[in-house]
Structure 1
Amino acid sequence: MNIAVLSGKGGTGKTTVSTNLALALKANYVDCDVEEPNGFLFLKPKIDKTYEVMVEYPFIDDDKCISCGACVYACKFNALAKVKDDIMLFQKLCHGCGACEIVCKAGALSYKKRQIGSIQEGTVDGIKCSRGILNISEPMAVPIIKQLLEELDEGVNLMDCPPGTSCNVVNSLKYADRAILVTEPTEFGLNDLKRAVELVRRFNIPFGIIINRDDGKENIIKKYCSEDEIHIIGCIPYSREIAKIYSEGEELYKNPKYRKVFTELSQRAREALKWN
């Protein structure tokens, strides 16, 4: 069972929910936010393995290249450009589709590999933790997300998705069986929650809502969920103490006062999302 935890925007508490629910459910934690993978800062797993993530890119043999420009016209990602009598390559724009190699009649194009990031695995409190890390200045996170999620373990996997509704989130949701949407009771929170709801509905993924920083009163999120018949799994209270614990890099689940909150959230999530 793969459960995607996502939000329509950053800063709603997505990683707080993901890491603490992983501890409460004894589930594997998977950090798919490869551009800013901060879940390990809180879980602090012992890292046992590290893998390189490689992608292919075209290599041009200048001795064979006749600068016809066929590869440039075939590339839909602007990774190749013809400048006078020379073909220029922009490695980081290449998606490795292979079109340029197919159309090159001179046989001047072949493919090599380069590293764009890595995957780390470790354990803490009996649960497996894994994360992808995109190298600085690299623009494409999807290859790392795909490699990270294609080899998930059996059991329950909590997928801490990237924020927003970009292609990084879309590629994460392709591996999800259920989804938990984390939001906050603000106008910005509601606006971006609606986008996230539309996205999971397009994938026909059963989902529920967790409201972070809730003051216990009626608010625009609760009203929206009621009107749109969206199940609210539960709420995390608005608390200065929670902010302090978070700022110190500690898990709320390990605090006796808030362990009960996440234990109840984990039970309600099981009931709402219907898995054994």
Structure 2
Amino acid sequence: MNIAVLSGKGGTGKTTVSTNIALALKANYVDCDVEEPNGFLFLKPHIEKTEQVKVEYPFIDDEKCISCGLCVEVCEFNALAKVKGDIILFQKLCHGCGACKIICKQNALSYRHRETGKIEKGYAKNIKCLRGVLNVGEPMAVPVIKQLLENVPEGVNIIDCSPGTSCNVVNTIKYAKGAMLVTEPTEFGFHDLKMAVELVKIFNIPFGIIINKDNGEDNIIRKYCKEENIPLIGSIVYSKNIAEIYSKGDILYNNAKYKKLFDHMAESVLEVLKWN
């Protein structure tokens, strides 16, 4: 079962929850925040396997091409342009849809491959750990995310999503059967949480909310959960000690006090997501 951990905005503690919940559930950890994958900084897995992620891009045979411009007209992603009688290709804009090759009457187009990122796999604290890493300068993270999620291990997978509600997140939660939404009790956190809730509802999967930096009061997030009848999986107190542990790159689950907290949260996850 794939359980997505997402947040409406960055900095809410999504990776903190993902890594510690994975340990509490003895589940596999999958970092899909491929532009900024930082879960391995805390879990520190021994990486045993690395594989490349490659995408297709069109190659133009200048001897066959007559610069008719049909490929330019059919490309919906502006990866091709006609400039002074020449066809110019912008590789990083190409989505590999194949339309240009189909429409070319001169058979001047073929496809080649280029690397856009990598996937790393390993083990830490007796759990499997996987992450995708997008190459610097690459604009499209989705191919890395798709290849990563199409090869996840069997069993329970905690999927650490990208922050926000972008296409990266959409293409991640398509693989999920349940979701945990991490937020903080601030106006910004509340605003973006509501967008994340609407996104999860579109996929019709069970979900619950986790409050980070919780002050213990009847704050706006708790009131929202009551009004909308959304399960509250748990909360993490606003603590200087937690910030110190985090800043050192240590895992909270190694601390007896916080181990108990995440073990209890893991039990709530099983109940909220109706999974056994």
Range class of TM-score, shorter chain: over 0.9
1:205 deviation in Å? 0.8
Residue of structure 2 equivalent to 1:206 = 206
Between stretches 263-272 and 134-143, larger displacement belongs to 263-272
Q: Which amino acid is the alignment partner of residue 53 of structure 1?
A: V
- The count of corresponding residues between Structure 1 and Structure 2 is 276
CA–CA separation in structure 2 for the residues paired with 1:272 and 1:54: 38
* 1: CA distance, partners of 2:191 / 2:217: 19
How many Å apart are 1:256 and its aligned residue?
1.2
Q: What is the deviation of 1:109?
A: 0.5
Report SS of the residue matched to 1:81. Answer: strand
Report the Cα distance in structure 2 between the residues aligned to 1:225 and 1:235, rounded to whole angstroms.
Answer: 13
Aligned residue type for 1:238:
Y
SS of equivalent residue, structure 1 residue 64: coil
Match of 2:172 in 1: 172
By how many angstroms is 1:274 displaced? Answer: 1.5
Query: What's the CA shift for 1:90?
Result: 0.1
After superposition, where does 1:15-30 map in structure 2 within 5 Å?
15-30=15-30
1:180-205, Cα deviation, whole Å (9 max, x unpaired): 00000000000000000000001001
Aligned to 2:242: 242
Partner of 2:149: 149
Amino acid at match of 1:195: M
2:77 is paired with a residue whose SS is coil
Residue 252 of structure 2 corresponds to 252
Structure 2 distance, partners of 1:204, 1:53, is 30
Letter in 2 for 1:225: C
Q: Specify every segment of 5 or more residues in structure 2 that has no aligned partner in the other structure, as ranges.
A: none
TM-score w.r.t. length of structure 1: 0.99
Which residue type is aligned with residue 271 of structure 1? E
For residues 120-141 of structure 1, what are the alpha-carbon distances to aligned partners after superposition, in whole Å with 9 as ceiling and x for unaligned?
A: 0000111000000000000000
Letter in 2 for 1:110: S
Cα offset, 1:75, TM superposition: 0.3
Give the secondary structure class of the aligned counterpart of 2:114.
Answer: strand
Q: Which moved more, 1:255-264 or 1:31-40?
A: 255-264
CA positional deviation for 1:84: 1.1
The Cα shift of 1:257 comes to: 1.7
Match of 2:50 in 1: 50
Matches of 1:147 and 1:224, distance apart in 2? 36
Output the CA distance in 2 between the equivalents of 1:115 and 1:267: 41
Deviation at 1:275, TM superposition (A): 1.1
Task: State the distance in 1 between where 2:52 and 2:152 align.
Answer: 17
SS in 2 for 1:132: strand
User: Identity across aligned pairs (percent)?
Assistant: 71
Point out 4+ residue stretches in structure 1 off by more than 3 angstroms. Answer: none
Paired position in structure 2 for 1:62:
62
Match of 1:101? 101
- Distance in structure 2 (CA, Å) of the matches to 1:50 and 1:234: 35
Q: Which amino acid aligns with 2:235?
A: C
C-alpha separation between the residues in 1 aligned to 2:126 and 2:257? 22
Map of 1:225 onto structure 2: 225
Q: What is the CA RMSD across the aligned residues, in angstroms?
A: 0.5
- Superposed displacement of residue 227, structure 1: 0.5
Question: Which residue in the other structure is 1:77 paired with?
Answer: 77
TM-score, normalised by the number of residues in structure 2: 0.99
